[in-house]
Amino acid sequence: MLRRLRYRFDNAMARGTPAMIGVIAVAMLVLAVLNAITLLVLAPDTVRKEGAASVLWRSALRVLNPPGMLQRDYIPADPPVGVAYRIVSTVITIIGILLLSTLIGVLGAGIQRKLSKLRKGRSVVVESDHTVILGWSEQVHMIISELVKANRNQKYACVTVLAPKDKVQMEDAVRERVGDTAPTRVVCRTGDPTRISDIRLVNPREARSIIVLPPEHDDADIAVIKCLLAVTSGALAEASDGGRPVPHVVTSIVDDHNLPAALIAGGAHTHVVSAQCFIARLLVQTSLQSGLSIVYTELLEFDGDEIYMSAQPQLAGQTFGEAVYTFRTSTVIGLRRLDGQILLNPPADTRILRTDQIVAISEDDDTVIPSDEIPAITFEAIVTDEASDPRSERVLLLGWNARTPEAVNQLAKLAPKGSRLDIVADLPDLDDRVEKLRTRLPQLELGLLAADPADRVVLEGVDLAAYQHVMVVGDAGAIDKSATDSRTLMTLLHLRDLATQHGHGFSVVTEMADDRNRTLAQAAHADDFILSDNLLSLRMAQTSENPELNRLFQELFDPEGCQIRLRPAQEYVRPHATITFYTVVEAALRRDQIAIGYRLARHAQRKPDYGIVVNPDKATLLSLTGGDKVIVLDGRC
């Protein structure tokens, strides 16, 4: 009997505090029943006459509060009490004291363990409709910051982070880098994002979205794929089995060759961004289009005007061209069909269905409001001449990395006919690499110089005055990110100094491997753009809030899809004419384009927007000069 009790006690100890409490409760119940039997059999008649229920209640009190029961005189002094009754009562009282003290100890130990779990970040998160971030890198601070901005109009928003780091260290880092996150709560948990048991700590099956961050090491893509497998077989499977809406997953892949494996591992609810293609396209597009980097940042950040999808059933039956004028403080750029198809810049005569949603640039999702105002269009100020063909460009690429072939491919598609790209890189096999690109891209003239682009003597020997755009990328031979950025920063400093000395007017787009070094290379003017993982983080944050935006961004950053362009204002309206932006919208529609903003040349060096205005109030009067630009969405998607 004792051996069996000890066996059960040891099993209860192994299972933890709840099992121990159950064993002690059963023991106390058995003891109370034994005490009741003793009273009914051995106690005086005055006690037995109280009835079985009263005797059982008295026995339970004796077990739960032995000291209190010893101070009370339940048995009259006159009737004689047997020795057996006294012995049994004393033994039961002592056992009750032992059980009660054990119960208090178990409860105290359980509370201590729970507090220890909270301190170590190993307790389960009880939030719902929250955003889960799996992994830790420099991107986490930007993503949390953007999610806080997105949730500023919500009372109980929550972001949970699971990473193999100390909970207190993560909380301190978020507090230092992000600052005040109110009203959004940021909850950190310590665990391995590739283990299903650890992922359950952040309650992913009740989450709104899950963001998987690539770790900062060479096998980042393998870690992401393992994490996607853990999420798919754990969180998403449990959510689908329980009938809950399955949270969508957002992640990025460093190497484009691993994209198919990531899509297979993630499944239908996963949105994977190829960092290699995305950064390469940004590098080329922001280099060729002066000021485009500010436009992209405005659309991707939650601080300014973003892209929203809004149901407007009252527009049913109207054409898309009519809907463009319906919104004074929002810019309609497309339609979303009921089947999920997104049409960017559709033909103006496209009919809007009742089940359609409009795709619009607006300050917030609740500011997409139709206006009854009649558009004020100055038709005589609209230029009807054909737009001039873009002139050929000369582009200088300093450095080489894994994204360079994709960047060259993008440049061949976007650059005007007759453009030339010259590459300066310190690589022993540069001739072979460039020759492979030359055979695949005959439409782009390629030149090369095998030299160190960080060497000032080399840069002085290059005819910098012949180039309109310069792209600086990390050195493929560098050992780590810090070394890569050090050489990139040195090249950038030499370029800026030479441009100042000789009055060169080329634009500079620089790629930084580590976002922490971006602040050391702050932009000198609007066309001096520092490209890092920041924009990738912004895109992931936007997709986590609305997964349908991922397809839209793919179209915007695809050279064969719709393109955001900055075109000379004199191609649309007559210089110095006083007009409303409605007039610019009409001029753009006549060219099958959508006007989404403008850039004032006189403010081109004024921070923080450098003269860029996205989604202006269409009724505001303005006067565009010869150096100003109109920001348009061009092409069909």
Model confidence band, residue 76 (pLDDT cutoffs 50, 70, 90): very low
Six-digit token string for 158 = 């929550």
Residue 108 CA: distances (Å) to CA of 105, 121, 151, 410, 600:
5, 20, 39, 65, 69
Region of poorest pLDDT, from 87-91, 279-283, 571-575: 87-91
Nearest to 483 by CA among 491, 495, 475: 475
pLDDT exceeds 80 at position 28: no
Mean pLDDT of 167-179: 91
Six-digit token string for 15 = 């299972």
CA–CA distance, 212 with 167 (Å, rounded to integer): 18
The more confidently predicted of residues 136 and 55 is 136
Q: What is 394-535's CATH topology?
A: Rossmann fold (3.40.50)
Mean pLDDT of 528-555: 86
Mean pLDDT of 429-447: 87
pLDDT exceeds 60 at position 3: no
CA–CA distance, 598 with 610 (Å, rounded to integer): 11
Model confidence band, residue 622 (pLDDT cutoffs 50, 70, 90): very high
> Cβ–Cβ contacts within 10 Å for residue 478, how many?
17
Pairing of strands 578-580, 563-568: unpaired
> Cβ–Cβ contacts within 10 Å for residue 460, how many?
12
CA–CA distance, 119 with 167 (Å, rounded to integer): 7
CA–CA distance, 544 with 547 (Å, rounded to integer): 6
CA–CA distance, 541 with 40 (Å, rounded to integer): 72
Domain 131-268 shares a fold with domain 394-535: yes
Region of poorest pLDDT, from 414-418, 517-521, 602-606: 517-521
Region of poorest pLDDT, from 165-169, 207-211, 331-335: 165-169
pLDDT score at 443 = 82
Q: Is 621 exposed, middle or buried (0-12, 13-18, 19+ CB in 10 A)?
A: exposed
pLDDT exceeds 50 at position 261: yes
Residue 37 DSSP SS3: helix
DSSP state letter for 224: H
pLDDT score at 164 = 92
Mean pLDDT of 95-100: 73
Region of poorest pLDDT, from 117-131, 205-219, 235-249, 618-632: 235-249
pLDDT score at 523 = 57
pLDDT score at 521 = 66
Q: What digits encode the pLDDT tens for the residues 332-366? A: 999 999 988 899 999 999 999 999 999 999 988 88
Mean pLDDT of 187-207: 91
Q: What is 131-268's CATH topology?
A: Rossmann fold (3.40.50)
Q: What digits encode the pLDDT tens for the residues 399-420? A: 988 888 889 988 988 888 889 9
Query: Which residue ranges make up each domain of the chain?
Result: 2-120, 131-268, 394-535
Task: Collect all residues with Cβ–Cβ distance below 8 Å to 559 and sequence separation of at least 6.
Answer: 281, 285, 410, 413, 414
The more confidently predicted of residues 88 and 74 is 88
Query: Omega before 608 cis (within 30°)?
Result: yes
pLDDT score at 381 = 93
Region of poorest pLDDT, from 103-107, 294-298, 422-426: 103-107
pLDDT score at 241 = 58
pLDDT exceeds 70 at position 40: no
The more confidently predicted of residues 6 and 275 is 275
Model confidence band, residue 7 (pLDDT cutoffs 50, 70, 90): very low
pLDDT score at 78 = 43
Outline where 349-424 has alpha helix (H): 404-414
pLDDT score at 13 = 45
